[in-house]
A and B are shown apart, each in its own frame.
Chain A
Amino acid sequence: MEEIWNGFVKAIQLIVTLDPEVMEITGRSLAIAAASCLLASLVCIPLGSLIHFNRFPGKRGLVNVIQTLYSVPTVVIGLLIFLLFSRAGPLGDMGLLFTPTVMVIGQAVLIAPILVGLTITALSGVDNAIPETASALGADGIQAAVLTMREARFGMLTAIVMGFGRAISEVGLALMVGGNIAGFTRVLTTAIALESSKGDIELSIALGIILIAVALIINIALNRLQQRK
């Protein structure tokens, strides 16, 4: 118990003194998660909107599959990305394995179902009378769709924040495709896993506190967004 308490005190010291290693790992985690979130948003929000605004056979089934993939294990996506970018893989020539770039790509793939699915959910939550009224006032199909997306903006922001939360807190994929290389691909989650196994409990707790703080900030942001809705 004393060891945990001492670790907690030292962890606070590391955070308060802005320990360079802690700051560097935190910065990298935030940057990779933010980049993956941006990449996924650019692809998934238009994709989710396309699925929502179009009628096609199997749409319901597709949405079910997307929602099922919300909880896909990170190691499964890690394995997929590893196989794609490993030397023998189809994208091996790019030499991206064990780089922050492949971590961004992997996390974007991981959170894609959440972003696509929640975009569809957010758009479905908009009253049908909104696009109808827009059409009745002379909007063409695209103008009515843009208005609907505008009405769903808080729901879509929620999707992005949820995606960011999933990206920054995952460990399996970051470990498998990033390799946890100090000063290069080491992020909060992989660092906690490594330092705990090495017995450096202070650093682990400090990084854990930061991760929880990030989760807390995400939660507050989500609540605020839902209130504005």
Chain B
Amino acid sequence: MALLETRNVGQTYDGKAVLQDISLSIGGGEVFALIGPTGAGKTTLLRLLDLLETPSAGAILFDGTDVTRSNKLRLEARRRMSFVQQKPVSFSMNVFDNVACGLRWRRQKSSAVRSKVETALELVGMADYRNRDARTLSGGETQRVAIARALVTQPEVLFLDEPTANLDPVSAGKVEETLAHVIQEHRTTVVMATHDMTQGQRLAGRIGVLIGGALQQTGSPTEIFCAPQSKEVAEFVGVENILSGIIAAKDDTLATVEVNGRAIQAISDFATGDTVYVLIRPEDIIFTKARDSSSARNVFEGEIIRMNTVGPLVRIEVDCGFPLLGIVTKRAAEELGFVFGKKIFASFKATALHTIRRWA
């Protein structure tokens, strides 16, 4: 049975639908990441799941009980959860008391409070700060205190809203390390919202993509990143080559997709005549000076129409009769003599492609 479940949940603010028809099931011990662009409704969904808000439609079940409408049930359920907000605030008291609040509100004995708070502070590496005024801490320290404050109550479900969004890379690394440790050690159910896709990939076992208030797809990180089910999801997870085409021929699972009059070989479930999008990740394209003798079924000659250097990499856009964006290292681009206007070859395997239905 799912520990946390939403049934057709919707939320409306001032007549504007922020979330629509969210049905989600999260099992005990699962680490679930909600990814999506800014403003997609991730925070709203977390707030609904943590029962801080009442949904305008649908029901939220915790441990099999509908806790949506009863204040008493909501408080009882909320006391089995914890929430680390995107910009956590510190109460104007010292670090120890900040972390102790949740336990004191649950009327735990002071000896238990002391030992649990010390353990939580040790866990996040903030034990030496116990007597510091919490409002004088840096962003990373505040975030770690907020995590300690959330973990100290030993929640069954931990909600994390962009846990490292406002931190420098060093602090973000420390926070992520702490979270990974907690996830591994305590088997806590975690629901985290992040716009950092790779963080979702690193920490979560399952990912949900929320775009425009709707849950577009849920699945394993591999499914989400390699087999997105819609153009919107594909765009969000970094598939930069999205080509419109039509299945011209089919031989078992191997389809020939016609794109701008060129034939692309792809593995596809769709039938001849279906209109589709062909998705190719930039990292799956190999650029060569001469026609490659590799096993790739798709080899196209094209002219370099754009080159952008991004750190140690160069993003190269080639016109093969359709635009194709790939990535090579800066050194490789120099060695191969890739320059604007040069004719080169792009190759990619049929198995690296993914097709999705395109409704006319």
Interface residues of A (CB under 8 A from B): 127, 129-130, 132-140, 143, 147, 150-151
Asked if residues B85 and A139 are in contact (CB atoms below 8 Å), the reply is no
- Bound form: Cα–Cα A133–B88 in Å: 8
Asked if residues B85 and A138 are in contact (CB atoms below 8 Å), the reply is no
Asked if residues B85 and A137 are in contact (CB atoms below 8 Å), the reply is no
B347, CB-defined interface residue at 8 Å: no
- Bound form: Cα–Cα A189–B300 in Å: 97
Interface band, chain B: 20 to 34
Write out, one digit per residue, whether chain B residues 137-166 have a CB within 8 A of any chain A CB (1) or not (0): 000000000000110010000010000000
Write out, one digit per residue, whether chain B residues 81-95 have a CB within 8 A of any chain A CB (1) or not (0): 011010111011000
- Which residues of B have CB within 8 Å of A129? 85, 87, 89
Give the shortest distance, in Å, between B78 (CB) and chain A (any CB).
Answer: 6
Q: Which of A127, A129, A135, A136 has the most C-beta atoms of chain B within 10 angstroms of its own C-beta?
A: A136
Asked if residues B78 and A136 are in contact (CB atoms below 8 Å), the reply is yes
A-B contact count (CB 8 A): 52
B317, CB-defined interface residue at 8 Å: no
Asked if residues B89 and A137 are in contact (CB atoms below 8 Å), the reply is no
Interface residues of B (CB under 8 A from A): 50, 52, 75, 78-79, 82-83, 85, 87-89, 91-92, 101-102, 105-106, 149-150, 153, 159
B105: contacting residue among A130, A137, A150, CB under 8 A: A137
Look across to chain B and name the residue whose beta carbon is closest to the beta carbon of A147.
B91
Interface SS of A by simple majority: helix
| A147 touching B101 in the complex, CB below 8 Å, given contacts A135-B52, A138-B106 | yes
Asked if residues A137 and B101 are in contact (CB atoms below 8 Å), the reply is yes
Asked if residues B153 and A138 are in contact (CB atoms below 8 Å), the reply is yes
Asked if residues A151 and B92 are in contact (CB atoms below 8 Å), the reply is yes
- Which residues of B have CB within 8 Å of A137? 82-83, 101-102, 105, 149-150, 153
| A151 touching B91 in the complex, CB below 8 Å, given contacts A133-B85, A136-B78, A136-B82 | yes
- Bound form: Cα–Cα A127–B79 in Å: 22
Asked if residues A140 and B101 are in contact (CB atoms below 8 Å), the reply is no
The 7 listed contacts between A and B (C-beta, < 8 Å) are A127-B89, A135-B52, A136-B52, A136-B82, A137-B82, A137-B101, A137-B150
- Bound form: Cα–Cα A151–B135 in Å: 12
- Which residues of B have CB within 8 Å of A130? 89, 91
Look across to chain B and name the residue whose beta carbon is closest to the beta carbon of A144.
B105
A136: contacting residue among B83, B87, B92, CB under 8 A: B83
Minimum-distance CB pairs A-B, first 8: A136-B83, A137-B102, A138-B79, A129-B89, A139-B105, A143-B105, A138-B105, A138-B102
- Bound form: Cα–Cα A35–B357 in Å: 78
Q: Which of B92, B102, B159 has the most C-beta atoms of chain A within 10 angstroms of its own C-beta?
A: B92
- Bound form: Cα–Cα A150–B153 in Å: 22
Asked if residues A134 and B101 are in contact (CB atoms below 8 Å), the reply is yes
- Which residues of B have CB within 8 Å of A151? 91-92
- Which residues of B have CB within 8 Å of A132? 52, 85
A138: contacting residue among B78, B89, B91, CB under 8 A: B78
Q: Which of B78, B89, B106 has the most C-beta atoms of chain A within 10 angstroms of its own C-beta?
A: B89
| A136 touching B85 in the complex, CB below 8 Å, given contacts A130-B91, A151-B92 | yes
- Which residues of B have CB within 8 Å of A147? 91, 101
- Which residues of A have CB within 8 Å of B87? 129
Give the shortest distance, in Å, between B286 (CB) and chain A (any CB).
Answer: 49
- Which residues of A have CB within 8 Å of B92? 150-151
